[in-house]
């Protein structure tokens, strides 16, 4: 049971933000309906969103250390509301504009992780960040539930369904602005704002070599950080399949419509909520975390290959999702918690921004790749995702073999 009011408000902010994004996801194919190569339009929109996070994540993280977490959370919430307003009317061009606007402010998750770390005792860091992951999963249930429920309960003409869902998302975005205003400052000790350093941060954030150099410098002070961030970055390559699912389900052999996509994400998110809650609440502190990541990654490879082979079988798809939630879906929370343990108050936002920048670069690369592969065959991206998961296996094995002290539990 979470008793910290600040933590509850931060979790509420995360939940509403994810609900908004998840509610809109099932209707995104409607923005490119009738266009040639709609899979490329959807991949391009995702690439825009992720590409802008290359610098927005590190920049907002740096600003959070200078001006505080609260102002960044407020600005990001306002940005999300404006981005959703740009989705009206339903046009492909406005979807791209929305992705640009939302990408500029979605770097707030570096600030969210910093705020959670600020208010969490060290012994609860992995658990509290794991709960954040559970809340993200819950949001992925509630978002499609909002969309699917609206379309099921009310008789809404098909041409107006997308607009109604966007209206709801816009209303929730406004609610989240109010939530952000209720959150107090979690880091009263701030560093001096240096505009030249901000410019340097923007430049370095779009330069993966510079990001890596920063990470090497941090490694000297905090052994093990480099390996953890590298693992999280490679995992971001794998997690591109989360965003690819909408394209695959809508345009692939299953030919899911808006309702079917909504129901799929309700099931996926619901199963993930249950498994994440049980794992982070009762198991995570008792396990050898190196071995846990290793075995989850090993289990994940056949799951990802299996997605490419489901054909028209909804039953097989849903079975694979269950295994997914018991393996791949739990890895990131473990790794992020261990990264958080290696942060300090003075540069926490900067470090989380650096991590998000690395993830953003990886997410952009994987989006461009799966977009190109999907144009050849909609099944090919899952082969790419399985290869990246194999790299996670190698990193986890190397860590377990060479650096067992990296992880807190034996």
Dist CA 18 CA 137 (whole Å): 8
Give the per-residue pLDDT at 410.
42
Model confidence pLDDT, tens digit, residues 103-158: 877 767 878 988 998 888 877 877 788 788 778 767 876 787 777 777 767 777 77
In this prediction, residue 405 has a pLDDT band, given cuts at 50, 70 and 90, of low
CATH number of the CATH domain containing 40:
1.20.1250.20
> Domain for residue 377, yes or no?
yes
> Domain for residue 29, yes or no?
yes
Count of residues for the chain?
Answer: 410
Give the per-residue pLDDT at 170.
92
> For residue 207, what are the CA distances in angstroms to 171, 187, 348, 351?
37, 29, 21, 16
- Classify residue 156 by burial, with Cβ atoms within 10 Å: 0-12, 13-18, 19+: middle
Residue identified by tokens 């009762």 is: 282
Peptide bond into 89 cis (omega under 30): yes
Model confidence pLDDT, tens digit, residues 51-63: 777 777 777 777 8
% of the chain at pLDDT higher than 90: 29
Ordered alpha helix ranges (H), 91-239? 92-105, 108-119, 125-153, 161-182, 195-205, 208-221, 225-238
What string of DSSP letters covers 204-270?
Answer: HHT-HHHHHHHHHHHHHHSTTHHHHHHHHHHHHHHTHHHHHHHHHHHHSTT---HHHHHHHHHHHHH
| Mean pLDDT calculated for residue range 286-312 | 94
Token pair recorded at residue 28: 């995104």
Q: 146 with 25: CB under 8 angstroms?
A: no
Give the per-residue pLDDT at 408.
47
| Mean pLDDT calculated for residue range 165-182 | 93
Pairwise pLDDT comparison (10 vs 189), residue with the higher score: 10
Token pair recorded at residue 5: 């009011």
Give the per-residue pLDDT at 178.
95
Instruction: Choose the weakest-confidence range: 156-170, 208-222, 268-282.
Output: 208-222
In this prediction, residue 205 has a pLDDT band, given cuts at 50, 70 and 90, of low
Give the per-residue pLDDT at 249.
92
Model confidence pLDDT, tens digit, residues 241-268: 988 988 899 889 999 987 788 788 888 8
Please state whether 233 falls in left (phi above 0), alpha (psi between -120 and 50) or beta: alpha
* CA dihedral for 304, 290, 348, 114, sign (positive or negative): positive
Model confidence pLDDT, tens digit, residues 81-107: 998 898 887 788 888 888 888 887 776
Q: 42 with 51: CB under 8 angstroms?
A: no
How many CB atoms neighbour CB 1 within 10 A? Answer: 2
Give the per-residue pLDDT at 110.
78
> Domain for residue 23, yes or no?
yes
Dist CA 54 CA 388 (whole Å): 20
In this prediction, residue 409 has a pLDDT band, given cuts at 50, 70 and 90, of very low
> Domain for residue 223, yes or no?
yes
Pairwise pLDDT comparison (309 vs 202), residue with the higher score: 309
Q: Is a pLDDT exceeding 60 seen at residue 1?
A: no
> Domain for residue 374, yes or no?
yes
Model confidence pLDDT, tens digit, residues 335-375: 888 888 887 776 777 777 778 778 878 888 998 899 899 98
| Domain total in the chain | 1
> Domain for residue 248, yes or no?
yes
> Domain for residue 199, yes or no?
no
> Domain for residue 323, yes or no?
yes
Could you tell me the residue range of the domain that residue 266 belongs to?
5-182+204-406
pTM (2 d.p.)? 0.75
């Amino acid at each position: 049971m979470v008793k910290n009011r600040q933590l509850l408000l931060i979790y509420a902010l995360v939940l509403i933000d994810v609900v908004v994004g998840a509610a809109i996801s099932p209707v995104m194919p409607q923005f490119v309906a009738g266009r040639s190569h709609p899979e490329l339009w959807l991949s391009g929109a995702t690439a825009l969103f992720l590409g802008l996070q290359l610098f927005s994540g590190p920049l907002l993280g740096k600003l959070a250390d200078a001006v505080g977490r609260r102002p960044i959370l407020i600005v990001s919430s306002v940005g999300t509301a404006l981005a959703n307003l740009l989705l009206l009317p339903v046009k492909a061009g406005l979807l791209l504009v929305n992705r640009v606007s939302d990408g500029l402010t979605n770097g707030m998750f570096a600030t969210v992780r910093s705020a959670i770390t600020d208010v969490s005792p060290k012994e609860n860091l992995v658990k509290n960040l794991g709960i954040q992951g559970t809340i993200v999963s819950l949001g992925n249930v509630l978002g499609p539930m909002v969309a699917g429920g609206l379309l099921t309960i009310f008789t809404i003409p098909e041409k107006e369904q997308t607009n109604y869902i966007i209206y709801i998302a816009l209303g929730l975005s406004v609610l989240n602005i109010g939530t952000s205003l209720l959150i107090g400052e979690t880091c009263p000790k701030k560093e001096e704002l240096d505009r030249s350093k901000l410019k340097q941060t923007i430049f370095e954030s779009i330069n993966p070599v510079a990001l890596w150099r920063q990470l090497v410098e941090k490694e000297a002070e905090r052994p093990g950080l480099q390996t953890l961030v590298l693992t999280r970055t490679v995992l971001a390559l794998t997690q591109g399949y989360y965003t690819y699912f909408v394209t695959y389900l809508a345009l692939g052999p299953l030919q899911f419509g808006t309702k079917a996509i909504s129901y799929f994400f309700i099931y996926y998110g619901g199963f993930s909520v249950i498994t994440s809650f049980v794992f982070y609440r009762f198991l995570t502190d008792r396990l050898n975390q190196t071995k846990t990541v290793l075995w989850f990654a090993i289990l994940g490879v056949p799951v990802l290959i299996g997605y490419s082979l489901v054909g028209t079988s909804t039953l097989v798809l849903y079975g694979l999702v269950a295994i997914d939630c018991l393996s791949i879906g739990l890895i990131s929370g473990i790794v992020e918690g261990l990264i958080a343990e290696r942060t300090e108050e003075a540069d926490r936002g900067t470090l989380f921004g650096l991590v998000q920048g690395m993830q953003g670069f990886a997410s952009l690369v994987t989006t461009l790749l799966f977009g190109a592969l999907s144009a050849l065959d909609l099944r090919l991206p899952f082969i790419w995702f399985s290869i990246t998961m194999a790299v996670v296996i190698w990193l986890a094995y190397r860590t377990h073999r060479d650096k067992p002290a990296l992880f807190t539990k034996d």
